[in-house]
Amino acid sequence: MADSTASWSRRMCSMPERLQLHLAMLALQFGYAGFHVVSRAALNMGISKLVFPVYRNIIALLLLAPFAFFLEKKERPALTWSFVVQFFLLALCGITANQGFYLLGLDNTSPTFASAIQNSVPAITFLMAAALRIEKVRINRRDGIAKVVGTFACVCGASVITLYKGPTIFRPSLNVTSRESGEGLLMLGDASGKNWTLGCVYLIGHCLSWSGWLVLQAPVLKKYPARLSVTSYTCFFGVLQFLVIAAFMEKDPQAWIFHSGGELFTILYAGFVASGIAFAVQIWCIDRGGPVFVAVYQPVQTLVVAIMASIALGEQFYLGGIIGAALIIVGLYLVLYGKSEERKFAAEEAAIMGSGSDHVNRAAPKSSLVQPLLPPSSSENTV
């Protein structure tokens, strides 16, 4: 047994890191796709939209806090009232508004379209960063044009999904087993009888709050460079905020009790997989492969969600959602292309400046220290 374990470990170590990154990102997209489907199943079971995120963030906090405490002892600054206020605001934007709008939107739409609209987060983040002058836009170069056109395509895609539902393109067929279990299975994945437009507006609010959270994290992390600790504090204040809202809005004490194993499973999945494990894997992938590499895999999640929701929930697909999702995915890749070209231009400019400096200081001894050309852009950290 020990020999087989050692052999498996050696095979993993011998696997190229690039292949490990691709496998990790595929696993991450399946994990997030499962979360969309599991969240919709939780709402169908009748779990409160306030109780669900409270339990989810408590589990994530219990999972992340020990790692943050022990791994970031040396790099964690002292906690001041200024940091407390900043963590509270991050929680308000990134936990309370983000998750609250998501559940409200998902309850009125479907997992596939919730995932499709999320593809607009990189473009919205870029737009916010550009408005705050964190991100530079040069419309006289192809990188600037690509980022502007990509952002416009994402906005158009989200607008199409919101304003135009369209005819049904695909309707899963019910087999004999599902007919015997009842006709309600087909309706689990479809928001029939609910306000589709309002649901999409909620999801846009979810994307705006998510993007705002990513942009606001940049200045906080510069002063408090302990990512796990920042996330743990954010989860802690998010739990407190949801508890305060639930104290006024959730009057039924039975809502806090699990009535089935399915309800317990959905909450455990959301806390452990979608919040705890996914965050750790994503941080490793960003560190090793870069934020652009991570962002490129985001549309894969939409495809996986569509397949899983069709099989597990009998979800229907509408023309407006497919057109909107295609526009958002095209826009995402245009923004990523623009970011890639921007780094190439920056590298070329730095090389030209460096060669000019070498020509002037030809006699000066060369330093053995190599500095990075540019610091990583905070607006790229969008996934």
* Burial degree of 120 (CB within 10 A; 0-12, 13-18, 19+): buried
Q: What is the DSSP letter of 381?
A: -
Around Cβ 152, how many Cβ atoms within 10 Å? Answer: 15
- Report the pLDDT value the prediction gives residue 182, as an integer from 0 to 100: 36
Which strand (E) or helix (H) includes residue 282?
helix 278-289
Nearest-Å Rg of the Cα atoms of the chain is: 23
Q: Are 117 and 203 in contact (CB under 8 A)?
A: yes
- Report the pLDDT value the prediction gives residue 242, as an integer from 0 to 100: 95
Q: What is the pTM of this model?
A: 0.74
193: phi > 0 → left, psi -120 to 50 → alpha, else beta; which?
left
Assess whether pLDDT exceeds 80 at residue 133: no
pLDDT tens digits, one per residue of 247-306: 889 888 888 988 888 889 999 999 999 888 887 787 778 777 766 667 767 777 877 887
pLDDT tens digits, one per residue of 46-83: 899 999 999 999 999 999 899 889 988 888 898 999 99
Question: DSSP letters along 317-359, please?
Answer: EEHHHHHHHHHHHHHHHHHHHHHHHHHHHHHHHHHHHHHHHHH
